[in-house]
Amino acid sequence: MLILGIDTATDQVSAAIGGHEGVLGSVAVARGRRHAETLTPAIEFLATQTGIGLDEIGVVAVDVGPGLFTGLRVGIATAKAMAYALRVPMIGVASLDLVAFPMRETGRLIVAAVDARRGELFYALYRPVPGGVQRLGDYRVGSPRDLVSEIVARGEECLLVGDGARRYTDDFEGLSRVRVADQEVAHPSAASLVQLAHAQALREEFIQPWELEPLYLRTPDAVANWTSRADEASS
């Protein structure tokens, strides 16, 4: 079973195809917030690169967030449209899981942190386990100071990874038992998405396109701004 993975939760757009043989091809493009202009050409390039026709895809997997509202909307809408057109099921995976997964070989506590804008982070904590990572607790949104407090309270050696960790590196530099991962692994990737989705596909953990929902954790900026203006107008 071939899986198409689509990730648009951050400034980087990526797509990958793979299955039981692993990841057969992937592409990643960083063009700011131009997700709508970038995603379809990236998928077309991927299909040409791998020699795999989209009609051979058996599952469409997508990053459901948390992340950039516009990016998530573009990625999820595209993934749903493809799943409908191909008449195949879907698998949704959280962006923080995708950020943490490549760090599974570390002996440290993994802290995945995605930039949430507004001076906040989306974050979650993970423990490496054989073959992957296990999330500890819920996905959260908070300030870098909130995350620092939680790390200090745990008192463990930590590996911070994600574009949020990179953006607020200065907030974590004074913590002696904390290391921030390199920029090269700062974004969730469609390659990791295909790997995690394949494990779910083996367990037949599919959903239908109409069932898939984004994971926002926080009101999107556009909605929050509209609500604020409406409140000001009514006062």
- Per residue in 221-234, pLDDT (tens digit) is 544 444 445 445 55
- For the segment 105-126, what is each residue's pLDDT rounded down to a tens digit? 999 999 999 999 999 999 999 9
Inter-residue contact 180 to 167 (CB < 8 Å): no
Q: Would 2-95+188-229 and 96-185 be classified into the same CATH topology?
A: yes
Looking at the chain, list the stretches that DSSP marks H as alpha helix, in order from N- to C-terminal side: 35-50, 69-86, 95-100, 144-154, 163-167, 169-172, 190-202, 221-234
Mean pLDDT of the region 8-33: 91
Q: What is the pTM of this model?
A: 0.91
Distances (CA, A) of 174 to 45, 151, 158, 179, 229: 43, 12, 13, 10, 39
- 182, 184, 189, 195: CA torsion to nearest 10: -80
Q: What one-character-per-residue DSSP string does 5-20 give?
A: EEE-SSSEEEEEEEET
Has residue 46 got a pLDDT over 80?
Answer: yes
96-185 is classed in which CATH architecture? 2-Layer Sandwich (3.30)
Any idea where the domains of the chain sit in the sequence?
2-95+188-229, 96-185
Least confident of 58-62, 70-74, 119-123, 225-229: 225-229
CB 124 within 8 A of CB 185: no
Instruction: Please give the single-letter amino acid code of residue 194.
Output: V
- What end-to-end distance do the CA atoms of the chain give, in Å? 57
Which two three-digit tokens encode residue 68? 């950039």
pLDDT tens across 163-203, in order? 999 999 999 988 889 999 999 999 999 999 999 999 999 99
**Six token digits for residue 228:** 């604020």
The domain defined by 2-95+188-229 folds into Nucleotidyltransferase; domain 5 (3.30.420)
